[in-house]
Amino acid sequence: MSACVAVVHQGLPCLQLRLGQGDSALVSLHGAQVLSWVAGGRERLFLSPRSVLDGRAAIRGGVPVCFPQFNQRGSLPKHGFARHRRWSVAQADPLERPATDGQVACELTLTSDADTLALWPHPFLARLTVTLSAGQLRVGLAVHNTGQQDFAFTGALHTYLAVDDIAAVQLRGLGGQPEWDAVSDTHGQAAEVLGVDGEFDRVYQAAPQALTLEEAGRTLRVAQSQGFEHTVVWNPGASQCAKLADMPADGYRQMLCVEAAQVYTPITVAPGQVWQGWQQLTVV
């Protein structure tokens, strides 16, 4: 039976989305973070086996929600506070919610409170919607300004894609897009085919078409909405991975982040208005 059910995963309250044909997704209430997406009998997201799942720390892997700040581009903690917070289930009872038209979805919300206002003085309501269909996962983020003044934010859906061997991966679809290489601090244009050799940390102007991640005859299509202006591609490489306490030394070999992001220019939301963006992953 296809459904969304409440489960506990290694002590974390989660929602599990299931389709009758076997695809599934696991979403933690901590951070509203997708931890797993199984499609075609294969795990498609990378979750570090050393991730700290204590309900307080940021989780390494899956799809972290970076809001209302990308990386360290501001005064907030790295990647903002949303990934450290407990989100609420939008519907009162997620148990046995049936799928419709071959899909099943869940919605989680985060509302400003005294703790968030002390860090970022803006009332807001954030809503994350995860939709599972056969061979496809869509993660949507909506940000509602519930205050009386404009606010601006940056952020990302910081997606960790699982790969067998990073050396064999090719990412296509960004060719010709403006590129900033954060490792060398240089600007240029993206190559038609991107491969990863060593530390890789680059920000691209988002392409109008979907990207394709290819490895060993397998293809994953990565599309994002126009709500996000940038695509970030990141792999720590061996040297940087060794410095990450929540990653195994060779963890960089099994992952590549392809993120729908807003990096340079903050998104401004007027009072009463809602911004929306999404990323969609499709097995080809």
At residue 92, does pLDDT exceed 70? no
β pairing state of 230-235 and 218-224: unpaired
Whether residue 96 lies in the annotated active site: no
101's tokens: 């038209």
Please name which of 60, 22, 29 lies closest in space to residue 241, comparing C-alpha atoms.
Answer: 60
Average pLDDT over the chain, rounded to an integer: 95
In sequence order, what are the residues at sequence separation of 6 or more whose Cβ sits closer than 8 angstroms to the Cβ of residue 92?
A: none
Q: Report yes or no: 200 and 235 within 8 Å, Cβ to Cβ.
A: yes
Whether residue 9 lies in the annotated active site: no
Q: Domain count for the chain, please give it.
A: 1
pLDDT digits (tens, 9 = 90+) for 3-61: 999 999 999 999 999 999 999 999 999 999 999 999 999 999 999 999 999 998 999 99
pLDDT for the residue 2: 82
Please name which of 116, 110, 107 lies closest in space to residue 34, comparing C-alpha atoms.
Answer: 107
Mean pLDDT along residues 201-225: 97
- CA dist 283 and 218 (Å) reads 8
pLDDT confidence bin for 91, thresholds 50/70/90? low
At residue 192, does pLDDT exceed 90? yes
Q: What is the 3-state secondary structure (H, E, C) of the chain?
A: CCEEEEEEECCEEEEEEECCCCCEEEEECECCEEEEEEECCEECECECCCCCCCCCCCCCECECEEECCCCCCCCCCCCECHHHCECEECCCCCCCEECECCEEEEEEEEECCHHHHHHCCCCEEEEEEEEEECCEEEEEEEEEECCCCCEEEEEEECCEEECCCHHHCEEECCCCCEEEECCCCEEEECCCEECCCCCEEEEEECCCCCEEEEECCEEEEEEECCCCCEEEEEECHHHHHCCCCCCCCCHHHHEEEEEEEEEEEEEEECCCCEEEEEEEEEEC
In sequence order, what are the residues at sequence separation of 6 or more whose Cβ sits closer than 8 angstroms to the Cβ of residue 189?
A: 176, 177, 178, 179
Region at 20 (left for phi over 0; alpha for psi -120 to 50; beta for the rest): alpha
Which of 179, 215, 229, 259 is labelled catalytic?
A: 259
CATH number at residue 215: 2.70.98.10
The share of the chain scoring above pLDDT 70, in percent, equals 96
Which of 79, 122, 144, 158 is labelled catalytic?
A: 158
Give me the torsion for CA of 2, 65, 137, 15, rounded to 10°. -10
pLDDT digits (tens, 9 = 90+) for 145-175: 999 999 999 999 999 999 999 999 999 999 9
Region of poorest pLDDT, from 15-19, 92-96, 278-282: 92-96
Mean pLDDT along residues 186-209: 98
Q: Report yes or no: 107 and 131 within 8 Å, Cβ to Cβ.
A: no
Residue with token string 């309900």: 55
- CA dist 216 and 161 (Å) reads 15
Domain interval for residue 194:
3-283
CA–centroid distance for 246 within its chain: 18
